[in-house]
Amino acid sequence: MQRYDLRHLKENFYSRMLEIMSERKEGEVSIFMFEIGDFSPVQKSADLIKEAGYTLMNSLKYNEVDWMIVVKKSSGEEL
C-alpha cells in the first residue's frame, strides 16, 4: 500500500491519479490525498475510479480542506 499526496495539483489531480493506478499491480491498494474545495472532486474521483475499473474501498474527510480515498486495483466483482 502506498500513499500519494496530490494536494499540490489542486483540481488537476484526476489524470495523475489514474496514471498512478494504471502502474499498480492487480490487488494493490493506493491512498490518494487531494483538496476538496466545493466537494465536487469527491464525487468526480469516485466516478473516475469506478469507470476505470478499480474498487473504491474508502472515502473520508482528512481535515478541513483535504480528502482521502483508498483504491484497490481490481474489477470490484469480487465484492
pLDDT by residue for the chain (79 residues), tens only, comes to 999 999 999 989 999 999 999 999 999 999 999 999 888 999 999 999 999 999 999 999 989 899 999 999 985 555 4
Decide if 49 is inside a domain: yes
Collapsing DSSP states into helix, strand and coil, what is residue 28? coil
| pTM for the whole structure | 0.89
Separation between Cα atoms, residue 7 and residue 13, nearest integer Å: 8
Query: Considering its fold, how many domains does the chain have in total?
Result: 1
CATH code at position 68: 3.30.110.40
* Residue 66, H or E segment: strand 66-72
Decide if 78 is inside a domain: no
Phi, psi of 62 (to 5 degrees): -85, -45
Decide if 59 is inside a domain: yes
Decide if 61 is inside a domain: yes
Decide if 77 is inside a domain: no
Reading the block at residue 34, the C-alpha cell is 487531494
Decide if 79 is inside a domain: no
The range of the structural domain enclosing residue 61 comes to: 2-72
Distance of CA 53 to the CA centre of its chain: 12
Distances (CA, A) of 55 to 3, 6, 8, 10: 16, 19, 24, 23
